[in-house]
Chain A
Amino acid sequence: MLASVTSFALQGIDAHPVIVEVDIQSGLPAFNIVGLPDTAVRESRERVRSALRNSGFDFPLRRITVNLAPAYLQKAGPSFDLAVACGILVASGQVDAKSFLGHAFCGELALDGSLRAVRGALCVAVGAVKEGIEAIVVPLASLAEVQLLECVKIYGLGHLAQLPGLLAGKLAPSTSNGRPQAQVRRFSLDLSDVRGHSHAKQALEIAAAGGHNLLMRGPPGAGKTMLSRRLPSILPPMEREEALDVTRVHSVAGALDGALPIQERPFRAPHHSISVAGLVGGGQPVRPGEISLAHNGVLFLDELAEFPRSALESLRQPLERGYVTIARASGTLTFPSRFTLIAATNPCSCGFSGDSQRVCTCSMPSLLKYRSKLSGPLLDRIDILIDVERPTLDQIKSLGEPECSEVVRKRVLEARNRQKIRLRDTGLTCNAQMGIRQIKKYCLLSARAEEMVKLADAKLALGGRGYVRVLRVARTAADLASSERIEGDHIALALGYRESEHAAAVA
């Protein structure tokens, strides 16, 4: 007898439909799975056999052939267990075939017949919706993430024995959570914890408002890490689409814990000893890297100069395009990775170049070599560069009460809304994503601002990329000031965030 069940295979964060065909013929007892299965899929045989027996079903002692179509696609992971078990049940006549139509199955089987959570359940659900499948059956443990989707019937199965009941219609589909209420976001780290550092706080606000990449340079103890960790508290909340994408990536990575959907923008801070594969994605089987886990959030690289050159070079493409492509012999996978980069670095290897209290002990060649670790192309993609110094007691005392994150976040949110409205036809979400075309169209300059840009081009050797960076940041500064036109002050501000020419070479 032949049976056919629908399941899905993960490719990146997308799900490709897979037809699980089960054929039972007479002959010596055998159980084979074909269709480019990987080791986990091949081991399914043992799990399915035990699970079926322990759930009270019969395991047919005949020649069983399972084909996972299409046969050119690599099948990985234990998520096909449930589909294979269902296929066997149908093919051996223990369950009625008609009730299976229009259902997709996905889940890992334990030896006693219960279902285990599977990675990427949400991605499977999204894929199912795209294919027009009306009902999805997932393990109970993966139910929470799938419930985020609307317009599809979701069944959470706890044990294989519940299957006939489900198909007979006795089990009610779970309601999708659709739109969970906005929770009050409570952050343990607040911007008001930081005293002084008005320059850095201003830069953080602009980075948060426009999604700009930011590099902080300063001696150890200046407060760079402290400031960066408070960035999430002033970031605007995610849109529903963005939250869904983030949840999908985390689901594929198996990093889902805590409340769903993920409402906080991810804040990833990998240590500088991370491998290139860990940062960008890869390995066998291919898993998303830190940059994909930071999608729609912040990637914080502390001690940027300590990261291996190869790791930093591998960031260039994702920073430019917003996705990363990982090539394998079996095909290429694409993971999304549109993140805001916040980096902190020392000015030199001793750390004290430019410090007002301690003397830098580096020789000139060592200083130049340290500076050159951050390559031109990487710096090119960083819109804001600031020098952070250790605040003196006077500076801390002279300023009034620092603003709390709540107040700053309101301004950031307003600025983001202006950007959303302005960029709604382009598919971009924030100023940092603007290219030269959008700048020409959306950046209206006052006369004084035009003059300043011309002067800057002549005197400061901005170049094409420099011009784009300055205008992006100026546009965000204007948004924060609720001004539709970019004024001279905004251009002057943006100019202050570029790398100083003298830093490149002395004389």
Chain B
Amino acid sequence: MPQRSPSGDKRFHKRFQEPFTKKKVPGTFSQRAGPLSCCDGCLRRSRLISLLAGHIDSALGQGKSVAALFSLTDSELVEAIAGSGKAGILRKLDAVDIEREHSSALQSGLWTVCQHSPSYPARFKGLVDRPACLFVCGSEEQWQALQGPSVAIVGARRASPYGLEVARELARELALAGVAIVSGMAFGVDSAAHQGALDAKGVTVAVLGCGADIAYPVSKLSLYRSIVTSGLVISEFPPGFRPRKWTFPARNRIMAALGDMTVVVEAGRRSGSLITAGFASELGRPVGAVPGPITAAQSQGTNGLICDGARPVTCAGDVLEEILGVDIRSCSNGGEAKANAMLSGLSTELKRVLDAVGRGHDTVDKLTAVVNDAGRALSSLGELELLGLIGRAFDGRYMVRGGQGALSSHNEQ
């Protein structure tokens, strides 16, 4: 069942009662445009994309790239991929009722912005595969936040506690500094980044691979609602559109274009977030990657990016330096002192176990080689877990954590 955003919410209704302004720009505008507006041509294009959804599936299967497809005009697109269904598609396209499109967007509590509108994000201008029409859920003030600095934070869905913690902390500190956090609301790093921005009461933007009124994945519904309340949910697909495999690379290009920098927090060798980093570097935007242990399979992608020239990101300051050009060190040294204090209070055995976990002995059996007793190993692990110094990953392996959420950089080791 598609999850609809609260269209019964009074807040949304009030907005739609504001006086509308008719703008003198190319293309015909329907009466029922909102303060942000979309021309009929672009709205028709978004409907065309949804009509061609199945054909795009097979076209991408044959190797055409997402960017290439989206840079074609309407007629070129139909020519290229509709194949035998061309006549049917063209007929349906002619039958598209613009009024209905506008009202369905309104009913779902969404606004529309098209490439001809003055509110269209400046970052998209000039891009050959830019989205024609964006559907937005959120308030106008939050839309203004896109004028300021922004960062796209992406990463693996099956992230380790390290990746999740880093994503959340990084997003939190950047949001505190006034940077908008863009991500995809997927499992793992994306959700952690959104959560971090929400923690700091900053602005976060979720770019979805489905209609902006649908919360996908379904288990992220409460996160979706929080983002709608204090941030933005954006999609180039019409309301009610269900996600498909190709909609994710499609939205990844939008994420990369919306951020002044793209930071990959944790990615395996074949993670989809590396594609987002690829889009960013094609656009000439800086790409950052958070390093991880070289023995960890889930950090092979990010470490690889660093080898290929991405900027290593170890704290929020690294990102701020890159996008604002200023040497701002926002690392909390207070957290570092706290972590050190906790470490000094540990018994020798606990320190030894912590050290061993840090060096890669991440299961009880491996630690028994260090401590000689499975019972003692397990007790030490339990205690360290209680103190917050280690955590357990999805598969039960132990990993060192930063203590009380301190993203401390430049640690003397």
Shortest distance from the beta carbon of B8 to any chain A beta carbon, whole Å: 29
Contact A395 B393 (CB under 8 A): no
Chain A residues whose CB sits within 8 angstroms of the CB of B366 once the complex forms: 395
Is A398's CB under 8 angstroms from B369's CB?
yes
A399 partner, pick from B368, B382, B394, beta carbons under 8 A:
B368
Size range of the chain B interface in the assembly: 35 or more
| Min C-beta distance of B189 to chain A, whole Å | 8
Residues 469 to 507 of chain A near chain B (Cβ within 8 Å): 477, 488-497, 500-503, 505-507
Contacts of B159 in A (CB 8 A): 506-507
The answer to whether the Cβ of A172 comes within 8 Å of any Cβ in the partner chain is no
CA distance A132 to B365 in the complex (A): 58
Stretch at the interface among B49-57, B334-342, B383-391: B383-391
**Per a CB cutoff under 8 Å, which of B364, B368, B377, B397 touches A354?**
B397
Within 8 A of B (CB), among A19-45: none
Q: Which residues of B contact A327 (CB under 8 A)?
A: none
Interface bits A350-374 vs B (CB < 8 Å: 1, else 0): 0001100001000010010000000
CB–CB B392/A500 < 8 A: yes
A492 touches B365 (CB 8 A): no
Interface size on A, residues (CB 8 A): 44
Is B386 within 8 A of A459, CB to CB?
yes
| Interface check B191, CB cutoff 8 A | yes
A497 to B375, CA, bound (A): 11
Query: Is A347 interfacial (CB 8 A cutoff)?
Result: yes
Complex Cα gap A386–B397 (Å)? 11
Pair B386/A506 contact, Cβ less than 8 Å: no
Chain B residue with minimal CB distance to A359? Answer: B297
> Would you give the shortest CB distance from B122 to chain A, in whole angstroms?
32
| Contact of B363 with A389 in the complex, beta carbons under 8 Å | yes
A455 in the interface (beta carbon within 8 A): yes
CB pair B164 A493 closer than 8 Å:
no
Q: Which residues in chain B, 353-386, are within 8 Å of chain A measured between CB atoms?
A: 363-366, 368-369, 373-383, 385-386
**Inter-subunit contact B158/A364 (CB<8 Å):** yes
Given known A-B contacts A196-B365, A359-B297, A492 and B394 have beta carbons under 8 A apart: no
**B192 interfacial by beta-carbon distance below 8 Å:** yes
Counting chain A CB atoms within 10 Å of each CB, the highest count among B187, B219, B373, B386 belongs to B386
Contact B380 A507, beta carbon cutoff 8 Å: no
Binds B, one of A197-205, A298-306, A314-322: A197-205
The answer to whether A387 and B378 have CB atoms under 8 Å apart is: no
Q: How far is the CA of A500 from the CA of B366 in the complex (A)?
A: 18
List chain A residues, Cβ under 8 A from B158: 364, 367, 506
Is A493 in contact with B395, judged by CB distance below 8 angstroms?
no
Task: Give the Cβ gap from B342 to chain A, nearest Cβ, in Å.
Answer: 13
Q: Mark A205-245, 1 if CB is under 8 A from B, else 0.
A: 00000000000010000000000000000000000000000
CB-contact partner of B396 in A399, A460, A489, A503, under 8 A: A503
Indicate if A379 sits at the interface (CB-CB under 8 A).
no
Q: Report which of B164, B369, B391 forms a contact with A506, defined as CB distance below 8 A.
A: B164
Q: Which residues of A contact B376 (CB under 8 A)?
A: 489
Residue B131 at the chain A interface, CB threshold 8 Å: no
Is the Cβ of B374 less than 8 Å from the Cβ of A495? no
Say whether B157 faces chain A, with CB atoms less than 8 Å apart: yes
Residue of A nearest to B366 (CB): A395
Kindly state whether residue B34 has any CB partner on chain A within 8 Å.
Answer: no
Chain B 56-74 interface 0/1 with A at a Cβ cutoff of 8 Å (1 = within): 0000000000000000000
Residues of A within 8 A of B363 (CB): 199, 387, 389
A502 CB contact (under 8 Å) in B157, B369, B392? B392
Taking a contact as CB atoms under 8 Å apart, the answer to whether B396 and A491 are in contact is no
* Distance from A385 Cβ to chain B, minimum over Cβ atoms (Å): 9
Residues of B263-289 contacting chain A, CB below 8 A: none
Would A495 and B219 be within 8 Å (CB), given that A199-B364, A489-B379, A507-B188 are in contact? no
A452 within 8 A of B: yes
Q: Is A493 within 8 A of B365, CB to CB? A: no
Residues of A within 8 A of B394 (CB): 353-354, 500, 502-503, 506
Taking the complex as formed, is B161 at the interface, i.e. its CB lies under 8 A from any CB of chain A? yes
A177 to B164 CA separation, bound complex (whole angstroms):
66
Interchain CB contact under 8 A, A477 and B375: yes
B191, A507: Cβ atoms closer than 8 Å: yes
B396 adjacent to A217 (CB under 8 Å): yes
Give B230 Cβ to nearest chain A Cβ, in Å. Answer: 19
Residues on the A chain within 8 Å of B382, using CB = 491-496
The docked-state distance in angstroms from the alpha carbon of A488 to that of B349 is 14
Partner of B375, one of A202, A354, A395, A506: A202
Chain A residues positioned under 8 Å from B161 (CB to CB): 502
Residue of B nearest to A487 (CB): B379
A sample of 12 inter-chain contacts (CB < 8 A) reads: A198-B368, A199-B378, A202-B378, A354-B396, A359-B297, A387-B397, A389-B363, A394-B369, A395-B366, A452-B383, A477-B375, A506-B188
A contact residues vs B (CB 8 Å cutoff): 196-199, 201-202, 217, 347, 353-354, 359, 364, 367, 386-387, 389, 391, 394-395, 398-399, 452, 455-456, 459-460, 477, 488-497, 500-503, 505-507
The 8 closest A-B pairs by CB, nearest first: A354-B395, A492-B382, A500-B392, A387-B396, A198-B374, A199-B364, A495-B382, A492-B379
Q: A199-B363, A364-B158, A502-B393 are known contacts; what are 10 more A-B pairs with Cβ within 8 Å?
A: A198-B368, A199-B364, A199-B365, A199-B377, A202-B375, A495-B382, A496-B378, A496-B385, A506-B188, A507-B187
